[in-house]
């Protein structure tokens, strides 16, 4: 597969479009929904990227009608994300989504121009529940199963040009905080999984790279999705679900660089930073560094 589609869509690869999606369970600025706003307003993310040579523009997704139900609002947010991502791409900017929740991936991937899109997804969790086995009632635990076509069939198709990504075209890295039913669902799937966890510390990176190499055969463009809780909790607490035995920044940088060398990156997302669990502000600095490293590994300034 030749990576021409993405070459065409990145005429000015130093121009970024930050797309703020400040929602948690479709509520604005609540919990993880406050993360994108804090990174932009309090930690000057745009200024930091500017200083690295990027031309940065920011848009924020507006809050949907609060009279609608949570799930209706969630899909409306995703339809709006798809519009913002499409706008960024036609303006020659690489979309960088800052989202409270991981379901932003549904809108973002819908708008990426690619014949065969692959997904590199970093997360401590699988986000792979389906409505029939989910116990938490937390919609976002179904983000990846919706993206891969196992959940919410009618609603996901309301996102313009949404396409299901085949499970074999997804590499999930750092997943480790799993209920037994969730681990079983992963093991029965075709996702390329590089598990985190104590006994996987020595093999995680190798496994991720092997899965990436296999996935590259069938895709032409990559979407990179990073839930901040993929990182080891020694960096601080990204959100209420932070877990030990996660990725180091060095591992993350090497995996992302491998991905970039294999296929062009069409869009990037950073999700799930909850400032209310980062009481000393330690994780905010880590989040900014993570974004700087992943962006500079994937989007090269001129």
- Which residues are at the interface with Mn ion (CB under 5 A)? 102, 123, 127, 227
Judged by CB, which is closer to Mn ion: 127, or 205?
127
Phi, psi of 179 (to 5 degrees): -75, 155
Tell me the three state secondary structure of residue 97: strand
State the DSSP code for 62.
P
DSSP state of 66: T
Which residue's CB is nearer to Mn ion, number 54 or number 223? 223
How many Cβ atoms from other residues are within 10 Å of residue 178's Cβ? 19
Shortest distance in whole angstroms from residue 210 CB to Mn ion: 23
| Distance in angstroms between the alpha carbons of the first and the last residue of the chain | 26
Helix count (H) and strand count (E) of the chain?
11, 10
Q: 105's torsion region: left (phi>0), alpha (psi -120 to 50) or beta?
A: alpha
Cβ nearer to Mn ion, comparing 93 with 225: 225
Closest approach of Mn ion to the CB of residue 9, in Å: 26
Please, is 76 exposed, middle or buried when counting C-beta atoms within 10 Å of its C-beta (0-12, 13-18, 19+)? buried
The rounded distance, in Å, linking the Cα atoms of 202 and 194 is 11
CB of 229 to Mn ion, least distance (A): 7
Q: Which is nearer to Mn ion, 76 or 229 (CB)?
A: 229
Q: How far is the CB of 99 from Mn ion (least distance, A)?
A: 10
Shorter beta-carbon distance to Mn ion: residue 10 or 105: 105
Q: In angstroms, what is the minimal distance from the CB of 100 to Mn ion?
A: 11
Rounded to a whole number of angstroms, the minimum distance from the CB of residue 29 to Mn ion is 19
In the bound state with Mn ion, the residue whose beta carbon lies nearer, of 238 and 256, is 238
Nearest 5°: the CA angle 43, 45, 48 is 105
Beta partners for 171? 120, 192
């Amino acid at each position: 597969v030749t990576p021409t589609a993405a070459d065409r869509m990145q005429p000015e690869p130093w121009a970024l479009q930050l797309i703020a999606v400040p929602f948690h369970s479709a509520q604005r600025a609540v919990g993880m929904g406050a993360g994108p706003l804090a990174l932009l307003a309090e930690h000057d993310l745009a200024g930091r990227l500017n200083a690295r040579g990027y031309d940065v523009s920011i848009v924020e997704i507006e809050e949907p009608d609060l009279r609608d139900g949570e799930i209706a609002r969630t899909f409306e947010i995703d339809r709006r994300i798809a519009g913002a991502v499409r706008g960024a791409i036609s303006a020659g900017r690489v979309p960088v989504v800052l989202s409270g929740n991981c379901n932003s991936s549904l809108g973002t991937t819908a708008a990426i121009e690619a014949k065969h899109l692959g997904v590199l997804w970093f997360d401590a969790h699988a986000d792979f529940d389906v409505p029939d086995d989910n116990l938490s009632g937390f919609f976002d635990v179904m983000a990846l199963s919706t993206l891969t076509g196992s959940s919410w069939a009618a609603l996901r198709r309301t996102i313009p040009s949404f396409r299901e990504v085949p499970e074999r075209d997804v590499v999930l890295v750092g997943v480790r905080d799993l209920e037994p039913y969730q681990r079983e669902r992963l093991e029965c799937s075709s996702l390329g999984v590089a598990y985190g966890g104590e006994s996987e510390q020595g093999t995680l990176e190798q496994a991720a790279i092997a899965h990436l190499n296999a996935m590259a055969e069938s895709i032409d463009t990559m979407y990179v999705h990073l839930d901040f809780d993929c990182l080891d909790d020694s960096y601080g607490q990204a959100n209420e679900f932070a877990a030990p035995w996660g990725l180091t920044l060095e591992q993350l940088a090497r995996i992302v660089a491998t991905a970039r060398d294999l296929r062009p990156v069409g869009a990037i997302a950073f999700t799930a930073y909850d400032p209310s669990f980062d009481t000393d502000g330690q994780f905010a600095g880590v989040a900014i560094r993570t974004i700087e490293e992943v962006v500079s590994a994937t989007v090269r300034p001129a």
